Structure 1
Amino acid sequence: MSTPDIRWKQRFQNLEKSLHFLEQAIEIQNPDIIQKAGLIQFFEISFELSWNVLKEYMEEQGFTELRSPRDTIKKAFEIGLITDAHTWLQTLQNRDLTSHTYDEETAEKLVREIESVYYPLLKQVANQLKSEL
């Protein structure tokens, strides 16, 4: 069984790959509905990996009370790993919304938010964690 130290580092590699795919999806000019769905899916994956990497990293640091994305986000803010807890919590809320979104108007709005707010937020935490490797 792998140690927590190795686990967060391995999951971090998956996060970097996922963010790379998300970035590629964002760069598509005039995406069709299928490409937008892919972009949203890469966002969901990247967000899941982000909060899980944060959780595992903080558990390695001795923080053991992290049971949910919300707990993890609050603690990461408290110890300075992230700087905008409000936007992170909004990202969590919108990630939850993505699995229940079936209309194109909502998908369009979400794609714009992913491009302008959520991708930069996830990339920022990835860069922060990369410095810890």
Structure 2
Amino acid sequence: MDEMKDIRWKQRFENFEKSFKLLEKYSEEPISTELERAGIIQFFETTFELAWKVLKDYLEAEGYVAKSPRESIKQAFQIEIIEDGHLWMDALSKRNLTTHTYDQELSEKLMKEIQEQFLPLLRNLYDKLLEER
């Protein structure tokens, strides 16, 4: 591995780790207000953005080329860094809907998906990359 690329993914991982831990911490608390829901959704958006970018940097350190979130997810799934590629793609499309947190029905649905599906997905990535670091 090129040393600079190796360092880059590890630095990005540190940012991902901080964001993931905040998302995890606050997702486990009771959510009762619109503001709390919007905060969790924002944490998800940030954490997911860092997740695909750490995947991209990790892949580059391993000699692969991925330029977009979709390419990074597909490549990471192919080399078994992540599991459940379809759920990752779903999380990507939901991340693109996070600007619509003003829609209460959508934000409540997204909140449930974050807690039940996407948080465990991000946890798996976190655990996998923690081993690699």
TM-score with structure 1 setting the length: 0.94
> Deviation digits for residues 18-71 of structure 1, max 9, x if unmatched?
01110121122143111110100000011011110011001000002x110000
> Deviation digits for residues 82-124 of structure 1, max 9, x if unmatched?
1110000000000001123421111000000000000110110
Aligned residues: 131
Counterpart CA distance in 1 for 2:31 and 2:76 is 36
Cα pair 2:45 2:95 within 8 Å, conserved: yes
Q: Which residue of 1 aligns with 2:105?
A: 105
Counterpart CA distance in 1 for 2:110 and 2:12 is 25
Structure 1 runs, 4 residues or longer, greater than 6 Å off: none
| Letter in structure 2 aligned against 1:111 | M
Map 1:9-88; keep pairs closer than 5 Å.
Answer: 9-64=10-65, 66-88=66-88
RMSD: 1.2
Q: Which residue of 2 aligns with 1:122?
A: 122
Q: Aligned residues: percent identity?
A: 48
TM-score with structure 2 setting the length: 0.94
